[in-house]
Every structure is written in structure tokens, then in C-alpha cells.
Amino acid sequence: MDTDVLIVGAGPTGLMLANQLGRRGVRTLIIDRHAGPSVQTRALGVQARTLEIYAKLGLVNRALELGKRGAGANIWADGRRTAHIPLGEAGRRLTPYPFILILGQDDNERIMGEKLREWGLEVHWSAELMHLQQHADRVMATVKSQEGALREVTAAWVAGCDGARSAVRELNRIPYPGAPYQHVFFVADTVATGTMVADEVNAYLWRDGFHLFFPMRGSDHWRVVGILPHLLRDRAEVTFDDVIPSIRSEAGTGLSFTACSWFSTYRISHRSAARFRDRRCFLLGDAAHIHSPVGAQGMNTGLQDAYNLAWKLALVTSGRADPTLLDSYEVERVPVARRLLNTTDRAFRLVVSDSPVAGVLRTKILAKIAAAAMRREPIQKFAFRTISQIGIHYRESPLSESLGRLPANAPRAGDRFPWLELKLGAGGAKEDFYDKLDDTRFNLVLFGQPAPAADALAFPDLLRVHAIPADRDNDVALTAAGIPMPSYYLLRPDGHVGLCGERYDAATLARYFAARLRLREAIAA
Ligand SMILES: Cc1cc2nc3c(=O)[nH]c(=O)nc-3n(C[C@H](O)[C@H](O)[C@H](O)COP(=O)(O)OP(=O)(O)OC[C@H]3O[C@@H](n4cnc5c(N)ncnc54)[C@H](O)[C@@H]3O)c2cc1C
């Protein structure tokens, strides 16, 4: 076997998977048909959940240094600001990162690519997957070099992170139903002044469409995204100067552009693969699902696909878990992608529809509803949880088991374990509990009960135990998060709750490890 995992594609998804496998010691080979890293920005919005994952990977400070924090979002209609979403306020106490980070896809790829070296990995550029042959115990991949030479690579598993035109998907004949949108998008890097609220995202809804202004590093530097006006849609060559009159006619003279350093147009589709797996091959990121850019979700979703699959592959390739554990990848990630596709598609149709009715709906009714809704804190929090992706859960997964009578508002199995600031030592200060979690292992968190004796613990090398001390400040934080006393939470390496209940007992944990996670030592015990 040349490698345990062959990753096809070194876009954001492939790079995240390579990093997660590398730091877990999995033999990994990552190839990309391009000659070097991409210089296209494309995605721009990095969500809080991705930043939490970056923190575990040791990348978050670099990302925060390079990016610009968007602490709020504004909706404008008919020249007036109709709604303000205070992301910082809405996300406070929910995550250490209550904002959207504006950081180009190229920068995200660069920092993840640099990190690979720490695990002794590097991308093999100019290496294109041409053919795949699946066998019961391995996959034979044919890879073409820049000079046209073909070589065979034998891998136990193949991860198709090869984008919307995925060769892994096509070679496995997995259908990719969906359709292209008829609209043509444009994206422009500009220096502009106008009504935009500085350092925040500004969404302008017009009768004929919309424009989004994303704050970038530098003064008055905005990335503008919108749809091309009808008249320009079929032109072969379009420049930003061609687009300015339509923006001005809607935005009025208050808006002025003094420079445009980059302009590009693109078409997009919405699709979801019929399956995210065929025997030993997996699909992740745009290879598995592609959405409208509304909501800045695409890249972030691919990164989470990788985070979901990596720990499972690590347990299977090390021989510690039965390969059936890998079935949960599809079970957990397909519903996330489908839900996202439906919501982004509905939102997108509303913001781009050309019909006069939709124009009125957009500028009058939608703007008013958004304004009224965003004044209410529970709705602000719901919107933040959804957009930031911290609300994604796997409650229906076979890996999720909630036991006993937990209160209705308590975190349940499948949820991302909430972010908490806790006092972990007597008389100590509050600390970020996420910093204490080891995401290369399972974490058993005990509230209102002592930690089990170290020698009574099965799989000590797979498990970190955290007994949270009784403390008045801790009580306040736990009550706010809905965590009852006594209770225990077993967190999977990706931070989602696997098992939870009232009183911890070793036998329940051993049964969970055997029956749900299919850990071989637990099955044999
Ligand atoms: C204009 C625009 C704006 C966007 N904005 C956002 C945003 O703000 N936030 C967000 O989250 N998402 C956004 N997205 C979506 C985001 O860009 C994609 O979801 C993201 O690039 C997907 O990453 P990926 O790694 O899955 O695929 P890709 O980035 O497409 O990478 C696939 C890689 O596979 C390689 N490859 C392909 N075939 C082969 C082969 N046969 N052999 C070897 N290598 C191969 C390619 O060279 C490429 O490097 C936007 C998209 C567009 C177009």
C-alpha cells in the first residue's frame, strides 16, 4: 500500500483533511492537478465554527491577523438601512469568535498549506487523478504528471476533495443532480465610499437584484459581489466600468468607486451528490455539494466535512475501529448539505429573482420582516447559530446517544458541545474550556460528580477526562448553557457530543465504544 489515504484536490477541503490526518499520524498523500496554489480568492467569509477548528489546528491567530473581522451586518433597501444584525452581540457567549472573518480563500489555502509541513506533508502539484479501480481492500489510482507520465498509487481510502467537477465522483459514476442558476455573478475588489457601515457586511437589496459589500483590509477597501444586470449577461467581455452605472442607478450618487484592482464574473450551480461515498472513496466539499454563495457557507461546509471524516479515518486506518464507523460520515454530512442547499437556494431565489413582484417583496416586505426580526434577541441568536455553522448537529446519527432525563434545553448527543468559560482550579480565573479539549482524542466531561479513577478507565490513550469543579461562577455558566448537575458528556474528537447522561458509569461508556463507535478493543472486551 503506497498510502492509507489519497486526497485528490488541494483546495481548502483537501488541505483541511490532510492537516487533520497528518496531525493524527495517518499516512497521507495529497495531489492536485494544478501546478501550484490557487491565487483566486472566491470564498471570503470564514465562519465562527471554522475558526474554532482553526484554533485546534493552531491556525486561528494567523487567520485573525490576516483577516478583517465583520462584527455586524446591515440590510439596506431603497437607500435606507432597514436592519442591523449585531453579530458580535448575537454571538457573545456562544463562541470565542462572535463575528464573520473576512479572509480570502487564497489566504486560507496558504495558511493550511504551510501548516502541512509540521506533519511532514506537502502537496504533490501537477498530479492529476485519471482513473480509479476499487478492490475489496484497496483502491488503485492512476495519476498523471505534468509531463504526461502515468503512475499507479495504491491507497486504502480515497478522499475526493476535487471540486465541483470531481473526477473521484465521476469515475465512481455518482450522479450530481441539480442545475445551474441562470444569473451571472460578478465580484470586484474596490476602493469605494458610500453609505456602507465601516467594518461590517452591507447587503443592498434593490428592485433589480442585490449587492453585497464586504469590508477588506485597508481603508475604504470593499469586495463587492452582485449579479450582472440583464443587458450585460450575454456579453463576452464585461468590465467593472460596465457595471458601475447599474449600481449607481440603484445606489444613487452617494456611492463612488475610486479604484478596482480585480474584477471577475462567474456562473454557479446548486447540486448535491446522490451519495457521498462509494465503497472506499469519499466525496467532500464542492465534490459533494455546491451552493449559491449566499450566506458564505460553501468553503466552510467543506472544511467541516473534512473535520468530520478525519478522526474516523484515523481510527480505522490505525486498526482501532471497524470500518463500519465510516458509514456515519455520509449519514451525518448528507443532511447538513441538503438542508444548506435548500435554505441557500430559497434565499438566493428571493434575492435574485427578476420578477417585479419579487422586487417589491425584496425591498419592502423582506426588508421590513428582517428589520422586525433582527430586533429580537432569540432571532438574532438563531441567525448567528445558523450562519456561523455552530448550530450544525448530528442528533439523528447512529453515533449519538442521549441517556436519562436531561432537561429540554440541555445539549444533547449530536450537538456541538457549547463553548464555556469555566473555573477549572480552586480560586483560579475563568478559562476557555475549548482550549482544554484535545481534539485528537475523545473528551469525557463530568459535571457534579468525581472523575473515575485513572486505572478504571478503558482506553486511557483515547480519552481525556475533565471533572469540572463545583463553583458559583461555573454554576452560572452551566445554567446558561442548559447543562444540568449531575451530568456527563462524552465529546467526539470533532467536538460533537457522542454520549451524554446523568451519572457516568464505565460500563455504559464501554458499551457505547463497542456498539456505536465500533472500537475493536471494546468489541473484543
Ligand atoms: C465567487 C465565489 C464566492 C464564494 N464565496 C464563498 C464564501 O464567502 N464562503 C464560503 O464558505 N464559500 C464561498 N464560495 C464557495 C467556495 O469557493 C467553495 O465551496 C470552495 O472552493 C470548495 O473547496 P473545495 O476544496 O471543496 O474545492 P475547490 O476549491 O474547487 O478545490 C478542488 C481542487 O481539486 C483539484 N482537482 C480537480 N480535479 C482534480 C483531479 N482530477 N486530480 C487532481 N486534482 C484535482 C483542483 O485543481 C482544485 O485545486 C464561493 C464560491 C465562489 C465561486
Report the half-sphere exposure of 397 (CA within 13 A, side-chain side).
30
What is residue 327's predicted lDDT score, i.e. its pLDDT? Answer: 97
Cα–Cα distances in Å, from 230 out to 181, 233, 239, 291, 360? 14, 5, 15, 22, 18
CA 148 to centroid of ligand 1, rounded, Å: 24
- For residue 520, report the phi and psi dihedrals to the nearest 5 degrees: -65, -45
Q: Is the CB of 439 under 6 A from ligand 1?
A: no
Q: Which DSSP symbol is given to 417?
A: P
Contact assessment for residue 281 and residue 169, using Cβ atoms and an 8 Å cutoff? no
Q: Is the CB of 208 under 6 A from ligand 1?
A: no
Q: Is the CB of 31 under 6 A from ligand 1?
A: yes
CA 162 to centroid of ligand 1, rounded, Å: 8
Segment among 98-102, 142-146, 252-256, 259-263 with least mean pLDDT: 252-256
What is residue 251's predicted lDDT score, i.e. its pLDDT? Answer: 66
Q: Is the CB of 34 under 6 A from ligand 1?
A: yes
For residue 183, give the amino acid letter: H
pLDDT in tens, 45-85: 999 999 999 999 999 999 999 999 988 888 888 778 888 88
CA–CA distance, 314 with 312 (Å, rounded to integer): 5
pLDDT in tens, 265-291: 888 888 999 999 999 999 999 999 998
CA 165 to centroid of ligand 1, rounded, Å: 10
β-strand 277-278 against 256-272: which pairing, if any? Answer: unpaired
With 90 as the cut, is the pLDDT of residue 164 above it?
A: yes
What is residue 352's predicted lDDT score, i.e. its pLDDT? Answer: 65
Q: Is the CB of 9 under 6 A from ligand 1?
A: yes
15 Cα nearest atom in ligand 1: 25
What is residue 128's predicted lDDT score, i.e. its pLDDT? Answer: 98
What's the whole-number mean pLDDT along residues 493-521?
95
With 80 as the cut, is the pLDDT of residue 40 above it?
A: no
What is residue 485's predicted lDDT score, i.e. its pLDDT? Answer: 92
pLDDT in tens, 104-124: 999 999 999 999 999 999 999
This prediction's pTM: 0.94
What is residue 361's predicted lDDT score, i.e. its pLDDT? Answer: 65
- Which secondary structure element, helix H or strand E, spans residue 2, and what is its range? none
128 Cα nearest atom in ligand 1: 42
12 Cα nearest atom in ligand 1: 25
What's the whole-number mean pLDDT along residues 94-98?
95
Cα–Cα distances in Å, from 131 out to 6, 227, 387, 467? 13, 37, 37, 51
List the Cα angle 93/99/105 in 5-degree steps. Answer: 140
Please report which confidence band the pLDDT of residue 98 belongs to, taking 50, 70 and 90 as the band edges: very high
pLDDT in tens, 308-351: 999 999 999 999 999 999 999 999 999 999 988 888 777 766 66
CA-based torsion, 130, 135, 140, 141: positive or negative: positive
Q: Is the CB of 14 under 6 A from ligand 1?
A: yes
How many helices (H) and strands (E) the chain has is answered by 16, 26
Q: Is the CB of 124 under 6 A from ligand 1?
A: no
With 70 as the cut, is the pLDDT of residue 357 above it?
A: no
CA 10 to centroid of ligand 1, rounded, Å: 9
CA 312 to centroid of ligand 1, rounded, Å: 23
Q: Is the CB of 300 under 6 A from ligand 1?
A: yes
What is residue 350's predicted lDDT score, i.e. its pLDDT? Answer: 65
CA 329 to centroid of ligand 1, rounded, Å: 20
CA 42 to centroid of ligand 1, rounded, Å: 8
- For residue 267, report the phi and psi dihedrals to the nearest 5 degrees: -110, 150
β-strand 127-134 against 201-206: which pairing, if any? Answer: unpaired
CA 299 to centroid of ligand 1, rounded, Å: 7
Q: Is the CB of 390 under 6 A from ligand 1?
A: no
pLDDT in tens, 436-460: 999 999 999 999 999 888 777 778 8
CA 457 to centroid of ligand 1, rounded, Å: 43
What is residue 420's predicted lDDT score, i.e. its pLDDT? Answer: 97
What's the whole-number mean pLDDT along residues 90-115?
93
Please report which confidence band the pLDDT of residue 359 belongs to, taking 50, 70 and 90 as the band edges: low
What average pLDDT does the chain have?
90
What's the whole-number mean pLDDT along residues 151-161?
98
